[in-house]
Amino acid sequence: LCRGELIEIRGFGSFEIRHYRARQGRNPRTGASVQVKPKRLPYFKVGKELRARVAKGMCHTRELSPILDPESFKTTAVEIPAIKS
């Protein structure tokens, strides 16, 4: 994204940077006119497959696969040695 390239994850969606020009805005509290600076923001576009799955309600009707089973995310305690200064 930093290089201005599109990142696409097939079946999920894509990420890109959108450029917004400087513009006149308004302070909602005071009503005063303010200058809004130009900016670059990340934008996500949903992929066709994800959109179709959500529209069909498959998120709630299918069981979790073993990969996504919360029990498979077991953690192990690791001791980190102190930093000597």
Mapped onto helix, strand or coil, the DSSP state of residue 17 is strand
Query: Which residue segment(s) compose the domain that 34 sits in?
Result: 7-72
pTM: 0.53
Tens-place pLDDT, residues 44-67: 999 999 898 888 876 555 555 555
- The per-residue pLDDT for 66 is 54
Q: How many domains does the chain have?
A: 1
Based on its alpha-carbon atoms, the radius of gyration of the chain, rounded to whole angstroms, reads 22
Which H or E element spans position 60?
A: helix 58-61
The CATH number for 54's domain is 4.10.520.10
Query: And the tokens for 82?
Result: 């102190």
- 3-state helix, strand, coil split of the chain in percent (to 5) is 20, 30, 45
Q: pLDDT tens per residue, the chain (85 residues)?
A: 888 889 999 989 999 999 999 999 999 999 999 999 999 999 999 999 989 888 887 655 555 555 555 665 566 666 767 777 5
Kindly state whether residue 79 falls inside one of the protein's structural domains. no
Kindly state whether residue 2 falls inside one of the protein's structural domains. no
Q: Among 6, 41, 37, which Cα is nearest to 24's?
A: 37
